Structure 1
Amino acid sequence: MTSAPRTARGARTRAALLEAAEHVFAELGYADASVVRITERAGVAQGTFYLYFDSKLDLFDELVDDLNRRVRRAMSEASAAAPDRLSAERAGFRAFFAFTAEHPALYRIIRAAEFVSPRALHRHYDRIVEGYAEGLAEAQRHGEVRPDLDPDVAAWALMGIGELVGMRWVLWERDAEGGVPDHVLDQVALLVDGAIGRRTAPATTREENGS
């Protein structure tokens, strides 16, 4: 970014450019999106663009970071008040699905980043996994997550579940209000509980061991 906004008006202009870019990149793809199209959609002069961004790529990278901040905040706020880890997982998944329902461009933009800006792509996933793994490790210390689980590997795997379920029931079925249908969310929660839930030995095994 060339310079940070120094006024409320500048912050609004920059936000308008990011919002316009979200739609233009999603509709046209990175190659066909242009600064002219973005500024036209934002309702600002083309020269104004360069007060906030050095180039189209600079704007794209910032858009990836902006979407990342917003989706992480939505998930974190939703799960913060949960009484246990499984409830937190369910709330976090619901928030992610709701965010992608409101911002379906997230999928196309992140996929474009694989070719346009791999560093932005890696940064996006790494930031999500970092906080996710920390939460799992904390729950593990409190006995809510199975002790043999690697929080980092689990975070990547669970993130993959969320991304593909969201693609299927949010991106492909735009009639899902606020995310995915409840029965789908129930199945996701069931899978998550089966994957990370703390295990107790079956009664038969305990009896055989004389305990």
Structure 2
Amino acid sequence: MMAQGSTAAQGPASPGKTPRTARGRETLRRLLDAAAAEFGESGFHDASISGITRRAGTALGSFYTYFDSKDAIFMALVRDMSSRVASASRAAIREGSTGLTLEREAFTGFLAFVREHKEVYRIIDEAEFANPASYRTHYEAIAALITARLEAGAAQGLLRPGDAEVRAWALMGMNVFLGLRYGVWDGERPIEDIAAVAGDMLGNGLAVGPR
């Protein structure tokens, strides 16, 4: 389950190259979308700047207007993907939702996003080797957001008090692998069914009878 809020610490373009016009922002968006397709299909090492610009329908010069290198657009793409995943989760949360209901709704948003953007898994996984700092930042930022949510739920009396950070990483791990199994590998099972099973496990645990 990816979290509410943005995980992007900076804008998507290279430092000093942020677009200042609507047309520039549109071009930047096309480049990022093209990069997602290029890196998602070819992987970091086989992907190329020319492949990205060809997919985006832009000139090579437009690429360097916003990015310094292939490494730079890959780092930007990891930040962008983190932000978009967070936005998808946030959009699925209904007004007034709290506690386990909020977590279930955020998960449904995440899984729906994964089914539409399966390339996110390859991109984030390759970041571990292509840019370890962005890989770690991606997960640490998400864990921090989930931790804050769990702490808020405990403060409201909706969740049992406990080590929210450890719980957040455990919850994130569960969601990541559910996304892999039911988002990337198989997208047929209804999202609500998967969310219900995960939610039941969170709410009731695995033990039989009273704790």
Task: Tell me the TM-score range normalised by the shorter chain.
Answer: 0.7 to 0.9
Q: Does structure 2 conserve the Cα–Cα contact (< 8 Å) formed by 1:64 and 1:124?
A: yes
Query: Of the two structures, which has the highest relative contact order with CA contacts closer than 8 Å and spacing of 6 or more?
Result: 2
Match of 2:6 in 1: none
Q: How does 1:33-182 map to 2 (within 5 A)?
A: 33-79=47-93, 81-147=95-161, 149-176=162-189, 180-182=190-192
Indicate the RMSD between aligned Cα atoms, in angstroms.
Answer: 1.8
- Alpha-carbon distance in 1 for matches of 2:97, 2:53: 45
Q: Which amino acid aligns with 1:26?
A: G
- Rounded to whole Å, the distance in 2 between the matches of 1:23 and 1:174 is 19
CA distance in 1, matches of 2:147, 2:204: 17
Instruction: State the distance in 2 between where 1:80 and 1:129 align.
Output: 21
Q: Is the 8 A contact 1:82 1:91 kept in 2?
A: no
Instruction: Report the CA distance between 1:26 and its aligned residue.
Output: 0.5
Q: Does the aligned pair in 1 maintain the 2:30–2:56 contact within 8 Å? A: yes
CA contact (8 A) 2:111 2:191 kept: no
Q: Which residue of 2 aligns with 1:185?
A: 195
Aligned with 1:30 (options 34, 41, 44): 44
Q: Give 1:82 shift.
A: 4.3
Structure 1 residue 130: deviation in Å?
1.1
Percent sequence identity is 39
Distance in 1 of aligned mates of 2:113 and 2:187: 13
| Equivalent pair of 2:108/2:191 in contact (CA under 8 Å) | no
Task: Provide structure 1 residue ranges, at least 5 long, that are not aligned to the other structure.
Answer: 196-201, 206-211
Following superposition, which runs of at least 4 residues in structure 1 exceed 6 angstroms of deviation?
A: none
Q: Which residue of 2 aligns with 1:21?
A: 35
Partner of 1:194 in structure 2? 204
Distance in 2, Cα, partners of 1:42 & 1:54: 17
Structure whose CA Rg is larger: 1
Q: 1:9, 1:71 → 2: CA distance?
A: 24
The size of the alignment, in residue pairs, is: 194
In 1, Cα distance between the equivalents of 2:94 and 2:30?
Answer: 30
SS at match of 2:199: helix
Q: In structure 1, what residue type is equivalent to 2:47?
A: A
For 1:21 and 1:168, locate their aligned partners in 2 and report how far apart those are by CA, in whole Å: 24
Q: Distance in 2 between matches of 1:11 and 1:163?
A: 30
Q: Give secondary structure in 2 for the equivalent of 1:51.
A: helix
> SS at 2:58's partner residue?
coil
Q: Structure 2: which 5+ runs fail to align? A: 1-13
Provide the rounded CA distance (Å) in 1 between the counterparts of 2:195 and 2:131.
32
